[in-house]
Amino acid sequence: MRIRLCLAALSLAGGAGLATLSAPAASAATCSDIDVVAARGTFEPGTLGLIVGDPVFSALQKKLTGKTLSSYAVNYPADLSLTSAAQGNADLVNHVRTQSAACPNQRYILVGYSQGANVVDNSIGISSAGAVVGSPIVATLPTAVEPRVAAVLLFGNPIRALGKSVTGTYQSRTIDFCATGDPVCENGGDDVLAHLGYTADAGAAATFAAGKV
């Protein structure tokens, strides 16, 4: 019940004061220095995601002033259907694979919020099966692309409520924010509003990514 309330609150937040945030235009094509690939949360409005993706992209633009940035919004339902996260997983991997072939010098920053964190987890080989709005892995980033993933930025990551986290190849390039009491990422968490507050971490996430680029 708490999770459903949290998701409902997230949906409602799109029409509240958060709507004043500016949203970047998503672009999948040009060979920028860095492509920011963002998977939004369940029912989250915005171009890349009003609560996380859009403010993180804005913060990255300010931090990475010597680099050209493009953005891509992972194309998936971001709803409560059983295949939603799997569709996002497939789309993220397909996008990065296509971009890496077209732009051999391009690097990537992966951003995932809530269900979008499940999408990113799966894409880097960490299964979100069993987590809230999770799924089994259906695709992973090719080994050849792995060195070009500069940073992985996760927020309200549901696998953390299962006691899991990103390990292995991408661990040192990953920052994973879980607010105290967030029931989506903290087992036993009971603060629904904590799941909606990750905009405040956009600057810290951008600083972390800047140190990895």
Q: Supply the residues annotated as catalytic.
A: 114, 182, 195
What sign results for the dihedral spanned by CA atoms 70, 68, 210, 19?
A: negative
Residue 131: phi and psi, rounded to 5, are -85, 165
- Give dist(CA 152, CA 186) in Å, integer: 20
CA-to-CA distance for 158 and 140, rounded, in angstroms? Answer: 19
